[in-house]
Amino acid sequence: MAHEHKLAIFRGTVKFKSNIQKIWGVLIFLTIITAIEVILGIYKPSMFMHTWMTPFEGGFFATLGNIIFSPIVYMKPLNLIFILLTLVKAYYITWDFMHMRDETKALRRMVVWTGVFLVCYLIFILLQEGGYIQGVYENGYVKRDF
C-alpha cells in the first residue's frame, strides 16, 4: 500500500522533508503551546483576569450582541485563551498524529462535523441550565439542596 503524507502544516507555511520530521515538528509546536498554557496558568497575568467588555444593556439588540460576543463578554480572557489553545492542540493531534490530514474529505467531515455539532449543542444546553440554577441560588431563597 502506498502511503502518501501531506507534509505541510500551518496552511503550507512550514513544509517538512519527511513524515518523521513532521512528527517532531508538531511535537515541538504542541510542547510550546502546553508550556504557554502552564506559564499563563501559574502567573495569571492580571490583564487577562477581568473581562474586556461589559454586557450590553437594553433591549433585543443588546441581548443579541451579548450572545454574539459572549466569549469576551462573559468569559475571562485567560480562560478564552486556554480554550483556544486547547482547540489548536486538538487540531494538530487529530490532523497530524491521527493522520486526518491524509484522509478523504468525506471521512474528515463525517467525524469532525458530527462531533463538533453535537458537542456544541451539549455544552450550550448544560452551561445555560447551570447558569440559570446559579441565578436561582443567588437571587432566590434556595440556599442549597444538592
Q: Which residues here bind another protein, judged by CB under 8 A?
A: 1, 3, 19-20, 23-24, 27, 30-31, 34-35, 37-38, 41-42, 49, 79, 82-83, 85-86, 89-90, 93-94, 96-99, 103-104, 106-107, 110-111, 114-115, 118-119, 122-123, 125-127, 129-131, 133-134, 137-138, 143-144
**Nearer of residues 14 and 116 to another protein, judged by Cβ:** 116
What does the CA dihedral 35, 30, 68, 128 come to, rounded to 10 degrees?
-80
Q: Residue 75's closest CA among 57, 45, 55? A: 55
Least separation in angstroms between CB 73 and another protein:
15
Least separation in angstroms between CB 61 and another protein:
25
| 3-class DSSP assignment, residue 52 | coil
Q: Where are the alpha helices (DSSP H) in 1-146?
A: 19-43, 60-68, 70-73, 77-92, 105-139
